[in-house]
Structure 1
C-alpha cells in the first residue's frame, strides 16, 4: 500500500521508508493526477490542468512519455499489486486511490466529520482535529504547486486547514481549555490578523482567563486593522462579543462558544503579553 502525501512537499510512503519521484515533470504529473483524487481525466484536461493555456505549446507525446515512465515507477513500488496503479483507457487516465491513500482526502474527511457533528463530546472532536492538523508538513504541494490545478487545490486545502483551526479552538473553549490554548490561539490570530473568528475566540479566551482589558484591546486592534486595510467595520457577531465582554454577559462563561464550536490540547506554556 502506498500513501501519497501532498500536505507539504510531495512524498510517497511505503512501509518503512519514503520514496522520492525524480524529475520535475514527473512530480508535476503525479501531483496533478493526485489533485483529481482518483477521478478519470482526459488527455486534454490533464494537459490543461498541468500547463493551463500554455498546453498548446506542449507536444502530446511529451505527456504520453511521462505517463509511461510514471506507470513503470509506480508499478516497481508495488510489485505485488495485480491492477496498475495508473491506468490508461479511452477516456483518459486514472490514478487509483483507495481510502486512506491520499493524506489530503483523509484530512478533509476528518474535518467534515467534525463539522457534521458526528462526535458527542468536544474532546473527541479535539482529538480528531489535532490528528488532522498534524498531517500538515508545510504548504500543500510544498514549493511545487506551480500547475493551475495544484494551485487551486492548495487554496482549497488551506481553506479547510483554517476552518479546522476554527473548529479546534471553538471545541477547546467548549472544553474549558481557554488558558491552555491561549498562546496557540494568539499566534494563530497574529498569523491571520484579518480573520474575525480567530479574533472572537481569542477575545473569549482572554476574557475567561480574567484578562478583560486584553480582550478589548484585541478588538480595538481588529477594528483599526479592518478600517485601515479593508475600509469595513467588524462583523455584527464580533461587535456583539465586544458588548458581551463590556457588560460581563454571563453567557460568555458558558462552555458553548457561538456561532460554531466543536472540539485536549497540545501543551503551550508561553502566555502572550500585549504591548
Structure 2
C-alpha cells in the first residue's frame, strides 16, 4: 500500500521508506494527477499543466513517455498489486487513489467530520484539529511550479486550512484556553496579515486574559495597515468587535459568544419582545 503527501513537498510513502521523487516533469505529472485523484484529467489539460500554453509541437508523444515512466515507477513500488493505478482513457489519464492514501483528501474529509461534531466536545475537537493540521508540512506541492490545475487545487486546500485554523481557535476559546493561544494567533497574523477572523479571535483571547488595551491595539493595527497599504477600512464586523471590547460587553466572556453580528436596527436596540437586545443575541457562540 502506498500513500501520497502533497500538503508540502511531494512524498510517496511505502511500508519501508519515504520517497521524494526527483525530476520536475515527473513530479509535476504525479502531483497534477493526485490533485485530481480518481478523476480523469484530459490530455490537453495535462499538457498545459506540464509545458504551458506555448508548448512545443508533438508534445503528446512526450506526455505518453512520461506517463509510461510514472506507471512503471508506481508499479515497482507495490509489486503484486495487479492492475496499475495509472489508467489510460481515450481522452486522458486517471490516477486511482484509495481512501486514506492522500493527505489532502484525508484533511478535507477529516475537517468536515470535525465540523459536524465540534459543538459536542470542544476539547476533543481541539485535539483532532491539531492532529489534522499536522498533515501540513509547508505550502501545497512544495516549491514545484504550478500550472492552472494545481493552482486551483492549492487555493482550495489553503481555504480548507484557514477554515480548520479558524475552527481550532474558536474551539480553544470555547474550551477556556485564551491565554495559551495568544502567541499562536499572533504568529498566524504574521502570515495572514489581513485575515480578520484571526484578529477577532486574538482580540477575544486578549480581552478574556484581562488585556483590553492590547485587544484594542490589534484592531488599530489592522486599521492603520488597511488604510496605508490598501486605502480601505476594517469591516463592520471588526468595528463591532472594537465596540464590544470598549463597552466591556458581557457576551465576550467565556462560554458566551464572541462574533458580533449585524448592528442593531436603527431606532433603538430593543429586541422583538421589547426588551434590550444585547450582543449575546446577535453573536455566534463558541
Relative to the length of structure 2, the TM-score reads: 0.86
Compute the displacement of 1:113 (Å): 2.4
Shift of 1:52: 3.5
SS in 2 for 1:111: helix
Corresponding residue of 1:126: 126
CA contact (8 A) 2:37 2:94 kept: no
The alignment partner of 1:55 has SS state of coil
Distance 1:74 1:119 in 2: 42
In structure 1, what is the Cα distance between the partners aligned to 2:99 and 2:231?
A: 45
Provide structure 2 residue ranges, at least 5 long, that are not aligned to the other structure. 260-282
Tell me the distance in 2 between the aligned counterparts of 1:115 and 1:80.
Answer: 39
More displaced, 113-122 or 6-15?
113-122
CA distance in 2, matches of 1:38, 1:253: 47
Looking at structure 1, the residues matched to 119 and 2 of structure 2 have their Cα atoms a distance apart, in angstroms, of 29
Instruction: Tell me, in whole angstroms, the C-alpha distance in 1 between the residues paired with 2:239 and 2:117.
Output: 27
Question: What SS is found at the alignment partner of 1:73?
Answer: helix
Tell me the TM-score normalised to structure 1 length.
0.89
1:231 corresponding residue in structure 2 = 231
Q: Which residue number in structure 2 is paired with residue 109 of structure 1?
A: 109
Tell me how far apart the structure 1 counterparts of residues 199 and 49 of structure 2 sit (CA, whole Å).
37
In structure 1, the residue matched to 2:36 is 36
Between 1:251-260 and 1:184-193, the stretch displaced more is 251-260
Residue pair 1:3, 1:102 contacting (<8 A) in 2 also: yes
CA drift at 1:74: 0.3
Query: Secondary structure at the residue paired with 2:13?
Result: strand
Aligned length: 262
Partner of 1:265: none
1:254 correspondence with 2:254:
yes
Give distance in 2, aligned partners of 1:119 and 1:188.
Answer: 24
Shift of 1:118: 6.0
Counting only pairs closer than 5 Å after superposition, residues 175-190 of structure 1 correspond to structure 2 as: 175-190=175-190
Deviation digits for residues 195-254 of structure 1, max 9, x if unmatched?
111111101000000000100111111111111122222111111111111111111113
Give the structure, 1 or 2, with the largest relative contact order (CA under 8 Å, sep 6 or more). Answer: 1
CA offsets 1:123-149 (integer angstroms, 9 cap, x no match): 222122111110111111111133222
The answer to whether 1:9 aligns with 2:13 is no
Equivalent runs, 1:161-240 vs 2, <5 Å: 161-240=161-240
Q: Take 1:27 and 1:261, find their aligned partners in 2: how far apart are those partners?
A: 44
In structure 2, how many angstroms separate the alpha carbons of the residues matched to 1:36 and 1:261?
36
Shift of 1:89: 2.5
Instruction: Tell whether the 8 Å contact from 1:167 to 1:261 is kept in structure 2 after alignment.
Output: no
Q: Distance in 2 between matches of 1:118 and 1:240?
A: 25
Secondary structure of the residue aligned to 1:54 is: coil
Separation in structure 1 between the aligned mates of residue 238 and residue 114 of structure 2, nearest angstrom: 24
Whether 1:20 aligns to 2:20 is yes
8 Å Cα contact 1:167-1:260 kept in structure 2: no
| 1:88-137 CA distance string (max 9 Å, x none) | 13232110011111101111112222334566211222122111110111
Distance 2:236 2:258 in 1: 16
User: For 1:53, what is the secondary structure of its paired residue?
Assistant: coil
Bigger Rg, structure 1 or 2: 2
The alignment's C-alpha RMSD in Å is: 1.8
